[in-house]
Structure 1
Amino acid sequence: MKPKEEFHLKQCRQKIRAIHDTLDVLNGKWKISIISCLCYAPMRYSELLKEVHGISGKMLSRELKDLEMNNLIKRNVLDTQPVVVKYEITEYGSSLKELTNVIADWGIKHREKIINS
């Protein structure tokens, strides 16, 4: 194999590894939707449950814990009566806003293409 081909193959492997790492963190059907919602405004659990159509309460709880563990969101317990819990995107999690926008844009174009064909 030529040195140039080896270099490109190495780059390809690095990209694939990085994609796998990203998908390991954002795996599943719901995490990107949750992140996308929280990129625009902090939300309470019940607001997220309404906004992310089709997710169950148990799954939302699980996904929120996982996103918090990966430092993508922050859980804030407000000192009110009754206690209010709000979730918000972290600065690190905000770095995914561009990715969610790109995914959404592609999804819109894909839906149009499929419907029009």
Structure 2
Amino acid sequence: MENGDAFDPNCPTRLILDRIGDKWSVLVVLSLREGPRRFTELRDAIGGVTPKVLTQTLRAMEHDGLLTREVFAEVPPRVEYTLTPLGQSLHAPIRSVTEWAERNVHAVLAARAAHAG
């Protein structure tokens, strides 16, 4: 199988980059790293995401094979989200980028401020 070419505007690699470059997808991967979580646990862990946007993100990630959604036959129904092996494989690169952002946030904000004024 041939690898994709992200610089080719017709390459589906760009769709994948859109998914894994989305801030909510990144935070879901980081939040699910330690194991399954329920919707409210994810929402609370991520912070600042609306239920609608989180639902859309989770559905898209499930569609892309990055996580699974399991419904337990309980009253009320319990739903858990878990990273698939493919989703787990994203953790290391996402963690690296996140750590870079956390280390460099002040430098980036200073550069923005310098250009704004």
Name the TM-score, length of structure 1 as normaliser.
0.76
Cα displacement (A) at 1:42: 0.8
The one of 95, 98, 102 equivalent to 2:89 is: 95
SS of structure 2 residue aligned to 1:30? helix
Structure 1 unaligned blocks of 5 or more: 1-12
Q: What is the distance in 2 between the residues matched to 1:97 and 1:107?
A: 15
Structure 2 unaligned blocks of 5 or more: 112-117
Q: What is the distance in 2 between the residues matched to 1:40 and 1:112?
A: 28
- Identify the range of structure 1 (16-25 vs 48-57) with the bigger mean alpha-carbon deviation: 16-25
Q: Specify the structure having the higher radius of gyration (Cα).
A: 1
SS of structure 1 residue aligned to 2:23? coil
Q: 2:48 aligned with 1:57, yes or no?
A: no
- What is aligned with 1:44? 38
Aligned length: 105
The one of 5, 10, 13 equivalent to 1:14 is: 5
Q: What is the distance in 2 between the residues matched to 1:109 and 1:116?
A: 13
Q: Deviations over 1:65-90 (max 9, x none)?
A: 00000010000111222210000000
Cα displacement (A) at 1:21: 4.2
- Percent of pairs identical after alignment? 24
Q: What is the distance in 2 between the residues matched to 1:112 and 1:96?
A: 26
Distance 1:24 1:111, change over 3 A: closer
- Letter of the structure 2 residue corresponding to residue 14 of structure 1: D
SS of structure 1 residue aligned to 2:75? coil
- What is aligned with 1:4? none
